[in-house]
Amino acid sequence: MKIWGDTMFMWIILSIALFSIIYFFIKASFHSHVLKISFRNIFRIKRESFLMILGSMIGTAFIIGSLGMNDSFKNYIYKSVDLYFGEIDEVINSKVSINYNDIEPFIWELEKENLIDGVLPIFFKLYPVTKKGNIRGLKISELSQASLVGMDYTLISNFGENKVEVPTEFLKLKNNEAIITKRLAERLKVKEGEEIEIITGASPINILFPKRFKVVKIIDSKGIFNYRGIDANNGIGTVFINLAAARSITKIPSNNYYQILISNRGDYIKGNKLTEKVKNVYEKMKTKGEFIPVKDNQIKAIDRGGVSYIFLALSLFAIISGGVLIINMYSMLVSERKRELGVLRAIGFKRKDIRNVIFYESIFYTIFSIPFGIATGLLISRFTFSKVTSLFESLSSFENIIGEIPLIDSYYISPNSIIIGIAVGILLPLTITFWYSHSIGKINIVNAIKDLEEEKKKVKFEKYKYKIENGFAIVIFIIALFLK
Amino acid sequence: MIKTINLKKTYKNEGVEVHALKGINLEIKDGEMVSILGPSGSGKSTLLNCLSGIDKPTEGKVIIDNIDITTLKDDDLTTFRAKNMGFIFQFFNLIPVLNAVENVELPLLVLGYNEKEARGMAEEMLIEVGLKDRMKNFPNMLSGGEAQRVAIARALVTKPKIVWADEPTGALDTKTGISIMNLIRELNEKNNQTFVIVTHDPRITEYTRRILKMDSGILTEHENLG
């Protein structure tokens, strides 16, 4: 519903923008002489008109560009979350295992409140893993920390909004067989059919007699089939084994698990965030185990340093810059035509007619500038993005920085952002010129005809100018704050 | 009839109060052709602006046909101006994106005439001022005299009761200026419209029947030329 709501919101904004234009054109058709002057003004001084279109275009490009950068960053976050968690939104975790009977009332309550669409109890532990033979060969450096996961794999098909088909290898896993993730296989230098060893305890017996599993499949997947624990950073990969084998290794009582994976209804990434509600139920029910909002945590971890706020601040900065640019362009245009506007007032044009002369002209400029603005914005943001990415990549060679700078690998802009860009690209110049043309309507006829400076208007503009400057100062301060 | 009662206009110039009009009382009868003569800065243009309602006096009344236009709201005053007044400016002030006939028909369209009717009246008016062959020409394609004739046509096309002219020959050479003044006098006699002409050039006053002389914001002399 939320997704539908968001998309609808975008379309409503766009519809308002388009209807505004249509409305003003219908209105203008009743004043064809006003429309004629506005339209012809566009072709009057081509260089000036080109600058006007360029100004509006750059404003739109700024907005689209910053939205594109923002979307790319978000997309990176979402891809990262999707890679390690997929449908998993929260985890009830216990270091000493948790009885599923103790969790059930909580699950029932979540189902009753229609908050979730899947629950998956699993065995989860981190163990040193290596290729068979390395332990006896005392190749300690070949050991890698990996996540060991065991569960009833048939439950996966009913876990989450998008039902997944479970590969048959998972369903046919024998007690001595394992499926491992590709990255782990590469690290261990293991191929399908070879064996791995897992040290399941610190005692000499465990070290001398590690658990052996034959790798029946190496998978390169995401989500639940790439689950690596609650913070996604544990170990180099995952070893999937069957329920009986997991129970045998962990030696926990029947019906006990280490983790309960929960999938909320809808898609978190697309905006359906129910984590807070699930947490409230968890706290209300005084459920055992530790409640971990894994997706929330992962997003916060990636976005440490408030990178998304920097992009947001850049977007705001772009919108304000675009606005100021448009105001300056119109200010220039009006000051050049002041005498003419004064004459029109003298011969019978009302204030609203003068307003419309400028406003209709701005509609033409806006219509011309939007498609070019979007194309330029996309090109600029894509170009900037590639430059920033390569800069980050070069910085990532420094060990202490790699953890701090997200390596965003692909450019992305959502259709919603393009819709927003179009809507803002239309509404921003129209709103500004509507406001600006409103003040132009109050032009002093005598001063305009004599081309004298308007003292009152000048004071008003100065006042406005300070507001803009203050606005800029605040934006820069916010950016500086986040950069700090 | 145009009548002013104790008309005053004060404005600030770089923080200093300037008394442009210091209590003007005058009467101009319907159909009169009056010139307001005075040196630069005497207040003659300010008087014309206040009389025509494009500027607000600080004090006093401007009564035209028993209506005190200083009390009218902006939109009402604009409509009043459009219906009853025509303007001729020193620098023609034609709309550069409109051709001659479009410039002339503009006041009619503002008043709500349909396009066909307005076009017909504008063409007639241009013929009357001797610009039959220049109808489709844009202002930049017209000479100074031609542009001022278009401006006169624009001022007269709505058949206003009053025509205000601020230095109508100020931007023209002597020969063209004479022809323009002859045209104005001819139209005044033909249409019985009131013409109020502001000028600093005494030669222009020869075309009018009455001269109002101004200096330092006051009317110093009335002269009837018969």
- pLDDT, tens digit (0-9, with 9 covering 90-100), for A350-387: 988 888 888 888 888 888 888 888 888 788 777 877 77
Residue of A nearest to B111 (CA): A348
Q: Which of A397-401, A441-445, B30-34 has the largest mean confidence?
A: B30-34
Probe site for chain A from B12, B109, B156 (most A CB atoms < 10 A): B109
B93, A348: Cβ pair inside 8 Å?
no
CA–CA separation, A217 and A199 (whole Å): 21
Q: Residue holding tokens 């978000």?
A: A74
Give yes or no for residue A312 having a pLDDT over 80.
no
For residue B79, give how far its alpha carbon lies from the nearest alpha carbon of chain A (Å).
6
| pLDDT for position A70 | 76
| pLDDT for position A13 | 74
Nearest CA to B169 among B161, B178, B160?
B178
Per-residue pLDDT band at A480 (split at 50, 70, 90): low
ipTM of the complex: 0.90
A 12-71 → B contacts, CB under 8 A: 32-33, 36-37, 40-41, 44
| Option in B81, B93, B111 nearest A343 (CB) | B93
Whole-structure pTM value: 0.67
Look at B78 and A411; give whichever has higher pLDDT.
Answer: B78
Kindly list the residues from chain A whose CB atom is less than 8 angstroms away from the CB atom of residue B49.
445-446
Per-residue pLDDT band at A399 (split at 50, 70, 90): very low
Q: How many helices (H) and strands (E) does chain A have?
A: 17, 9
Kindly list the residues from chain B whose CB atom is less than 8 angstroms away from the CB atom of residue A449.
54, 89, 93
Q: Residue holding tokens 């406003």?
A: A359
Nearest CA to A72 among A295, A315, A398?
A315
A348, B107: Cβ pair inside 8 Å?
yes
Residue-wise pLDDT tens digits, B180-219: 888 888 888 888 889 999 998 888 888 898 999 999 889 8
CA–CA separation, A246 and B114 (whole Å): 90
Probe site for chain B from A446, A451, A454, A458 (most B CB atoms < 10 A): A446
| pLDDT for position A330 | 73
Q: Does B138 touch chain A (CB under 8 A)?
A: no
Task: Tell me which DSSP letter residue A193 carries.
Answer: T
CA–CA separation, B64 and B41 (whole Å): 25
Residue of A nearest to B86 (CA): A347
Question: Token pair for residue A66?
Answer: 């910053």
DSSP chain B: -EEEEEEEEEEEETTEEEEEEEEEEEEE-TT-EEEEE--TTSSHHHHHHHHHTSS--SEEEEEETTEEGGGS-HHHHHHHHHHHEEEE-TT----TTS-HHHHHHHHHHHTT--HHHHHHHHHHHHHHTT-GGGTT--GGGS-HHHHHHHHHHHHHTT--SEEEEESTTTTS-HHHHHHHHHHHHHHHHHH--EEEEEES-HHHHTTSSEEEEEETTEEEEEEE--
* A89 contacts A273 by C-beta, under 8 angstroms: no
* A215 contacts A253 by C-beta, under 8 angstroms: no
Q: What are phi and psi for residue B33, nearest 5 degrees?
A: -120, 105
Q: Does A138 touch chain B (CB under 8 A)?
A: no
- Topology at the third CATH level for domain B29-60+72-224: Rossmann fold (3.40.50)
Maximum distance among all Cα pairs of chain B, rounded to whole angstroms: 51
Mean residue pLDDT across chain B: 90
DSSP-based three-state secondary structure for A272 = coil
Give yes or no for residue A135 having a pLDDT over 80.
no
What's the burial of B122, exposed, middle or buried (CB within 10 Å: 0-12/13-18/19+)? buried
Q: Does B110 touch chain A (CB under 8 A)?
A: yes
CA–CA separation, B147 and B168 (whole Å): 11
For residue B97, give how far its alpha carbon lies from the nearest alpha carbon of chain A (Å).
6
| pLDDT for position A387 | 74
Q: Does B32 touch chain A (CB under 8 A)?
A: no
Handedness of CA B9, B11, B13, B18 (dihedral sign): positive
CA–CA separation, A169 and B17 (whole Å): 96
Question: Token pair for residue A69?
Answer: 């950068």
Give yes or no for residue B92 having a pLDDT over 80.
yes
The 3-class secondary structure across A375-415, one letter per residue, is: HHHHHHHHHHHHHHHHHHHHHCCCHHHHCCCCCCCCCCCCH
B95, A348: Cβ pair inside 8 Å?
no
Question: Token pair for residue B36?
Answer: 């307001």
Average pLDDT on A406-421 reads 73
A348, B82: Cβ pair inside 8 Å?
yes
| pLDDT for position A400 | 45
**Domain boundaries along the sequence of chain B:** 29-60+72-224
Handedness of CA A245, A249, A254, A255 (dihedral sign): negative
Kindly list the residues from chain A whose CB atom is less than 8 angstroms away from the CB atom of residue B111.
348
For residue B117, give how far its alpha carbon lies from the nearest alpha carbon of chain A (Å).
14
DSSP A414-482: -HHHHHHHHHHHHHHHHHHHHHHHHHHTT--HHHHHTT---HHHHHHHHHHHHHHHHHHHHHHHHHHHH
What stretch of H or E contains A154? none
A446, B49: Cβ pair inside 8 Å?
yes
| pLDDT for position B28 | 92
Residue-wise pLDDT tens digits, A247-294: 888 888 888 899 999 998 877 666 567 888 888 988 888 778 899 998
Handedness of CA B55, B56, B60, B64 (dihedral sign): positive
Residue-wise pLDDT tens digits, A178-231: 999 998 999 889 999 999 999 888 788 777 788 899 999 999 888 888 888 887
CA–CA separation, B147 and B172 (whole Å): 10
Separation in Å, CA A53 to CA A61, A329, A334, A476: 12, 10, 15, 27
Look at B104 and B41; give whichever has higher pLDDT.
Answer: B104
Strand B59-64 and strand B67-68: the pairing is antiparallel
Average pLDDT on A335-352 reads 87
Q: Does B95 touch chain A (CB under 8 A)?
A: yes
Q: Does B195 touch chain A (CB under 8 A)?
A: no
Residue of A nearest to B140 (CA): A44
Percent of chain A with pLDDT over 90: 14
Mean residue pLDDT across chain A: 79
Residue of A nearest to B12 (CA): A455
A347, B49: Cβ pair inside 8 Å?
no
Residue-wise pLDDT tens digits, A148-176: 999 999 988 888 877 778 889 999 999 99
Give yes or no for residue A315 having a pLDDT over 80.
no
Residue-wise pLDDT tens digits, B129-159: 888 999 999 999 999 889 989 999 999 899 8
B98, A37: Cβ pair inside 8 Å?
yes
Residues with Cβ < 8 Å from B71, sequence gap 6 or more? none
| pLDDT for position A304 | 61
Give yes or no for residue A83 having a pLDDT over 90.
no
Separation in Å, CA A226 to CA A167, A170, A367: 13, 13, 48
| pLDDT for position A299 | 78
Give yes or no for residue A460 having a pLDDT over 80.
no
Kindly list the residues from chain A whose CB atom is less than 8 angstroms away from the CB atom of residue B102.
36
Q: Does A446 touch chain B (CB under 8 A)?
A: yes
Residues with Cβ < 8 Å from B7, sequence gap 6 or more? B21, B23, B24, B25, B47, B50, B57, B59, B60, B61, B62
Task: Give helix B174-191 / helix B144-156 axis angle, nearest 10°.
Answer: 20
B81, A346: Cβ pair inside 8 Å?
yes
Q: Does B98 touch chain A (CB under 8 A)?
A: yes
B87, A346: Cβ pair inside 8 Å?
yes
For residue A43, give how far its alpha carbon lies from the nearest alpha carbon of chain B (Å).
9
| pLDDT for position B135 | 93
| pLDDT for position B119 | 95
| Option in A339, A347, A351 nearest B87 (CB) | A347
Maximum distance among all Cα pairs of chain A, rounded to whole angstroms: 104
Centre a 10 Å sphere on the Cβ of residue A16 and count the other Cβ atoms it contains: 13
| pLDDT for position A297 | 85
